[in-house]
Structure 1
């Protein structure tokens, strides 16, 4: 069973980026939850909810690649779209090999991001091995 309103999660240490992404995605009808740090995301997120994760690569404390590795170790199946202002080809290739849906450089091309989000949510809806509706989670 899937839920009707997927959650788009954003983890980015830059408040301006979080707010801009949240505004863009909500204006397209997506439900959005935004986090400043990976540690905050790990504590507060509800992994049972369908959606995707937009994850900044360069963050203090725990960078996006480290958070992604933790999610994989926990078998957290949410599809990930990486954002970076400092990425390189090797980093992008490795992220894609590790299962990321996309790797997008800042400044962000809105159409590419929206397309990646739609693709990631479709993937989560069809490939997740288990799902829980919001009613079941309560």
Structure 2
């Protein structure tokens, strides 16, 4: 099960379609608060989290999940150019940072890689 957390409905819809087309089960959330309030957050095999969201941003969500001992792999997606983001993300327990314009095949490869790091990405 992959959870996608993004406050942009069109992005959620797009990512759900992409991932379900590849055979993944997907659950979407429109905010970090919605995910944190859910009882099923431990069921995810991978989280795809938007960096910039209203309220709790993606890095803060990642840190809160780690503080709750939830070690689910996280792929952070962003439309913002920030050279310091990969380092900040890594310290929050994020495994991969992707730019939104570069999603698609790179997202699928990243999801497969973080879900099974022993297999080659791609």
Which of the pair has the greater relative contact order for Cα pairs under 8 Å at 6+ separation?
1
Displacement after TM superposition at 1:108 (Å): 3.2
- Normalization by structure 2: what TM-score? 0.89
The change in CA–CA distance for 1:80 and 1:45 in structure 2 (over 3 A counts) is: farther
Displacement after TM superposition at 1:34 (Å): 0.3
Displacement after TM superposition at 1:49 (Å): 2.1
How many pairs were matched up? 117
Question: Runs (4+) of structure 1 moved beyond 4 Å?
Answer: none
Contact 1:55 1:82 in 2 (8 A): yes
SS of the equivalent of 2:62 reads helix
SS of the equivalent of 1:82 reads strand
Unmatched segments (≥5 aa) in structure 1: 1-6, 124-138
Where do 1:111-126 residues align within 5 Å?
Answer: 111-123=105-117
The change in CA–CA distance for 1:12 and 1:73 in structure 2 (over 3 A counts) is: same
Using the alignment, how far apart are the partners of 2:44 and 2:3 within structure 1? 10
After superposition, what is the alpha-carbon deviation per residue over 1:69-96, rounded to whole angstroms, capped at 9, x for unaligned?
Answer: 1111111111000000114111112212
- Normalization by structure 1: what TM-score? 0.79
2:79 maps to 85
1:46 maps to 40
Unmatched segments (≥5 aa) in structure 2: 118-122
Displacement after TM superposition at 1:50 (Å): 4.6
Q: How big is the alpha-carbon RMSD for the aligned residues of Structure 1 and Structure 2? A: 1.4
After superposition, what is the alpha-carbon deviation per residue over 1:86-135, rounded to whole angstroms, capped at 9, x for unaligned?
Answer: 14111112212433221001113311100011112114xxxxxxxxxxxx
